[in-house]
A and B are shown apart, each in its own frame.
Chain A
Amino acid sequence: MTGHVDSVKTYALVFAALICLTILTTGVAFIDLGPFSVVVALVIAVCKMLLVALFFMHVRYSTKLTKLVVSGGLLWLGILVLFTLADVVSRGWVGVPGR
């Protein structure tokens, strides 16, 4: 299939953005943002992931079914993280008789 061929310029711009974000995330890590350090690092990582997935992995031009599978997979990852953390965080909340 030769449907969509992105220009080298597009890829070069995405690549430049990825390098800039890497420098940014490394630099910001040394600044004390308290609990937001994790948030900033993860937001930048998600941005980089989206750039790689949408442009380098051609998700932009993929079929609807592929897009659905990709989002579904991330949804399931979210369930894994959310439910596990809900368990870990709430363990001490309710006293268990006999313990």
Chain B
Amino acid sequence: MANHAQAETLALREQFDTAEQQKDASTLGMWIFLITEVMFFGGMFLAYTVYRSKYPVTFAVASTSLNVYIGAFNTVVLLCSSFTMVLAVRAAQLGKRRAIVLFLILTLILGFMFLGIKAFEWNEKFQEHHIPGMANFHLEGVPIEQQGQAQLFFSLYFAMTGLHALHMVIGAGIVSCLAWWAHKGKYTAEYMTPVDVGGLYWHFVDIIWIFLFPLLYLIDRHLGKWVS
């Protein structure tokens, strides 16, 4: 049957009427997962907001101790990776196999670049004794009795950037698999749902950083004149 043969090439599962319906279902499923992730990160953003309003001065000193130029540069790196990712999805929509692989590999390189810069930044924190829970923790410009508040800032900093980085690592794994399967010719203009859905995940992780960057690095920056 011609119909059956067509269904084979579209990898259409029997519970769906059309390939379009199947694709819409996958997209919807991914979005529902992403919404659970929004709520997951939302809890941490909220904890940060509450403690920042409770200890504004210490949080301002701690926030301005972060390196804003590295943060801004990393934001640009991540935005570049989102751009290459969307070009990979576009290549998949057009069924250009080599372009998919190329753009996915570029995305992967930029993703690892982000993680490398993040690791460099975290290493700096170790050298500056800004690691919460360590016996030698000390934030300059904060009185001894408020060091605990500074530890709270860096706990939230490491929890938020750490979980974001974990998502990046998972994303890098997904992009690697997609690149391999794309290389094998698994994706065509008719069937490219995994690339599309993988792209949604990658862009979501980008959006989380779009909020982390200003909230952690920027909003107290203008106080720099009087904070240390």
Contacts and interface: CB of A to CB of B under 8 A. Distances in A.
Interface of A: 1-3, 5-6, 8, 11-12, 15, 18-19, 22-23, 25-26, 29-33, 37-38, 41-42, 44-45, 48-49, 52-53, 55-58, 62-63, 65-66, 69-70, 72-74, 76-77, 80-81, 84-85, 88
Given A11-B87, A56-B85, 17 more contacts: A1-B20, A18-B82, A26-B72, A29-B68, A29-B218, A29-B221, A45-B210, A45-B213, A49-B211, A52-B203, A55-B86, A62-B27, A65-B28, A70-B31, A76-B35, A80-B43, A84-B50
Contact of A31 (B28, B49, B50, B222): B222
A25 B214 contact: yes
22 contacts: A1-B23, A5-B93, A5-B94, A15-B83, A22-B72, A22-B76, A29-B218, A45-B215, A56-B86, A56-B203, A57-B203, A57-B204, A65-B28, A66-B28, A70-B31, A72-B35, A73-B34, A77-B39, A80-B39, A80-B43, A80-B46, A81-B42
Interface residues of B, number: 56
Nearest to A4: B93
Nearest to B52: A38
Interface SS of chain B: helix
A41 B200 contact: no
A38 B53 CA distance: 12
A55 B43 CA distance: 27
Given A6-B90, A53-B207, A19 B76 contact: yes
Interface in B72-120: 72, 75-76, 79-80, 82-83, 85-87, 90, 93-94
B177 interface: no
Nearest to A22: B75
A52 B38 contact: no
A80 B217 CA distance: 24
Contact of B219 (A29, A53, A81): A29
Nearest to B42: A77
Nearest to A73: B35
Most buried by B among A2, A12, A70, A88: A2
Given A5-B94, A33-B222, A74-B38, A56 B82 contact: yes
Contacts of A63: 24, 27-28
Contacts of B190: 2
